[in-house]
Amino acid sequence: MKVLFATSEATPLVKTGGLADVSAALPAALRRAGVDARVLMPGYGPVLGWVEGRARLAGVLELPPFPVARLLESALPGGTPLLVLDCPALYAREGGPYHQPGGAEWPDNDFRFGLLSRAAAELARPGRDWVPQVLHCNDWQTGLAPSWLSILPGPRAATLMTIHNLAYQGLFPATAMERLGLPWSLFQPDGVEFHGNLSFLKAGLFHADRLSTVSPTYAREIQQAPLGFGMQGLLSWRSRYLSGVLNGIDTAAWNPGTDPLIARRYGPGTLARKDDNRAALRERFGLSPGPGRPLFGVVSRFAHQKGLDLLAEVTSQLVALPAQLAVLGSGEAPLEAAFRELATRHPGEVGVVVGFDEGLSHLLEAGADVFVMPSRYEPSGLNQMYSQRYGTPVVARDTGGLADTVTDCAPATLAEGTATGFLFREPTPEALLEALTRAAAAFANRRMWRALQRNGMARDFSWDASAARYAALYADMTASPGGWQNAGPGA
């Protein structure tokens, strides 16, 4: 089975969130399972830097109205074959993959990811040595590929559109249709149009043969308002083509027994060594030493999705429990300001590092006693899985992938050895505080706490099970060739 995995970011070259982790780990796991998966991504500066001296020119893509692009063949640092879409004018810029150095989005993101989608579609057609049977698209940045394939003549790969986050829809004014060279015939509700705009994500959700998202619970949640973000009608109409496949984690990169980025390595039998990581973490965050109070930790994008405003509202009560808080994150300015203010108000008890720091995120997973994820919605979430593997029980909202991976601590789950954290239902400060308080009380009970830690560490979050599910999905998709539209809606 040959699969082209089209994505806009991949660890460790370019990462803004979990999509990058998935884009590196899933294709690698697929290859271990015998699937010939290859990654396609844009040639941003760090990508070109990595492939320099280890790439070969595999072709030139002339896809008007886009500028001519080169296709470079290389491999990701983990060894997965990589196709780089090299078009320096669009991708090799100072700044992030989606944002300029000042924080504003690149004004030509429609064109930049229009080309990524168009190139993915081109590579999903015959004409080269290696022709995939499946084009696996990820999020809005590659959402137009299935739409292009719906209008290009001749045979093509089957298409899977995976939703990592439905809130980011790639919305552009209708005028983008002409800029991108898309025919107006596609600009309709049964197509790429979404409330008068062009939506890259809607395009993929409408035209792809199959849809998937990154946890079973989120697959159900997005078929209704509010988590469908306006796409719930389309998603429930296409529900028989929609699957929820839970993400895994890279268990080699995230292993407290071998992690070079933490202060002291440990395992389920040597949990006392976690204390050294806690001490190192306190030092990095300017927190006072001293036993007794649990250290709560956060690593997150500062976005409305993540519900950190709820945490900011109850931080003073959390400190009074007593407890400490270490927050690593960056994003929305008001949240950065709120946590900085809390650190000033509670010196030695609340510490904040604003920024993106991969190494520090490992130390935080190892050094925190409790990890906090109060997400309003969470398609999968990775940190709650990293946390469990690091013996760090989780306080999380009962939604999406969090609901599928964290087991609430209750007498029954403690007795059967499955409890790994503390779930709360309502997205309110009160409900969060109640769960934080439960966690702090459990922390005081040494034996119970060790049981929670070991339950989490014993969980298998490796990619192998998920990769097998994707492989089965690919097999199913290719067994019945042709687009779903060929068979008619609802067929």
Which residue in 15, 164, 210, 274 binds ligand GLC (CB under 6 A)?
164
Q: Using the minimum distance from each CB to ligand GLC, give the nearer residue, 247 or 277.
A: 247
Task: Select 132 or 170, whichever has its Cβ closest to ligand ADP.
Answer: 170
Closer of 20 and 186 to ligand GLC (Cβ) = 20
> Which part of the chain contacts ligand GLC (CB under 6 A), choosing from 79-87, 269-277, 374-382, 465-473?
374-382
Binding status of residue 243 toward ligand GLC by CB under 6 A: no
Does residue 405 belong to the site contacting ligand GLC (CB under 6 A)?
A: no
CB of 149 to ligand GLC, least distance (A): 23
Task: Give 396 or 436: the residue with its C-beta nearer to ligand GLC.
Answer: 396
Position 72 contacts ligand GLC (CB under 6 A): no
Candidates 16-24, 349-357, 389-397, 470-478: pick the segment binding ligand GLC (CB under 6 A). Answer: 16-24
Q: Shortest Cβ distance from residue 165 to ligand GLC (Å)?
A: 4
**Could you tell me how many residues of this chain bind ligand GLC (CB under 6 A)?**
14
Contact pick of 87, 186, 382, 433 for ligand GLC (by CB under 6 A): 382
Binder among 379, 391, 421, 456 for ligand GLC (CB under 6 A): 379
Q: How far is the CB of 426 from ligand ADP (least distance, A)?
A: 21
- Of these partners, ligand GLC, ligand ADP, none, which one is at the site of residue 214 (CB under 5 to 8 Å by kind)? ligand GLC
Q: In Å, what is the CA distance from 233 to each residue of 64, 125, 238, 373?
A: 34, 31, 9, 29
**Per rule CB under 6 A, is residue 165 in the interface with ligand GLC?**
yes
HEC readout, the chain: CEEEEECCCECCCECCCHHHHHHHHHHHHHHHCCCEEEEEEECCHHHHHHHCCCCEEEEEECCCCCCCEEEEEEECCCCCEEEEEECHHHHCCCCCCCECCCCCECCCHHHHHHHHHHHHHHHCCCCCCCCCCEEEEECHHHCHHHHHHHHCCCCCCEEEEEECCCCCCCEEECCHHHHHCCCHHHCCCCCCEECCEEEHHHHHHHHCCEEEECCHHHHHHCCCCCCCCCCHHHHHHCHHHEEECCCCECCCCCCCCCCCCCCCCCCCCCHHHHHHHHHHHHHHCCCCCCCCCCEEEEEEEECHHHCHHHHHHHHHHHHCCCCEEEEEEEECHHHHHHHHHHHHHCCCCEEEEECCCHHHHHHHHHHCCEEEECCCCCCCCCHHHHHHHCCCCEEEECCHHHHHHCCECCHHHHHCCCCCEEEECCCCHHHHHHHHHHHHHHHCCHHHHHHHHHHHHHCCCEHHHHHHHHHHHHHHHHHCCCCHHHHCCCC
19 binds ligand GLC (CB under 6 A): yes
Q: How many CA atoms lie within 13 A of 134 on its CB side?
A: 31
Binding site for ligand ADP (CB under 6 A): 17-18, 21, 299-301, 328-330, 356-358, 361, 380-383
Residue 223 binds which one of ligand ADP, ligand GLC, none, with CB within 5 to 8 A depending on kind? none
Structure tokens at 59: 């072709």
CB of 471 to ligand GLC, least distance (A): 18
356's contact among ligand GLC, ligand ADP, none, with CB below 5 to 8 A by partner kind, is: ligand ADP
- Residue 381 binding ligand GLC, by CB under 6 A: yes
Looking at beta carbons only, is 27 or 381 nearer to ligand ADP? 381
| Residue at token pair 């989490």 | 456
Which residue has the CB atom at the shortest distance from ligand ADP? 18
Q: Which is nearer to ligand ADP, 21 or 221 (CB)?
A: 21
Kindly state the smallest distance separating residue 385's Cβ from ligand GLC, in Å.
Answer: 9
Greatest distance between any 2 Cα atoms in the chain: 69
> Considering the rule CB under 6 A, would residue 376 count as an interface residue with ligand GLC?
no
Q: Which is nearer to ligand GLC, 141 or 165 (CB)?
A: 165
User: Which two three-digit tokens encode residue 316?
Assistant: 């003073």
Closer to ligand GLC at the Cβ: 17 or 483? 17
Closer residue to ligand GLC, CB minimum distance, 17 or 95: 17
Binding site for ligand GLC (CB under 6 A): 17-19, 22, 164-165, 214, 247, 378-382, 401
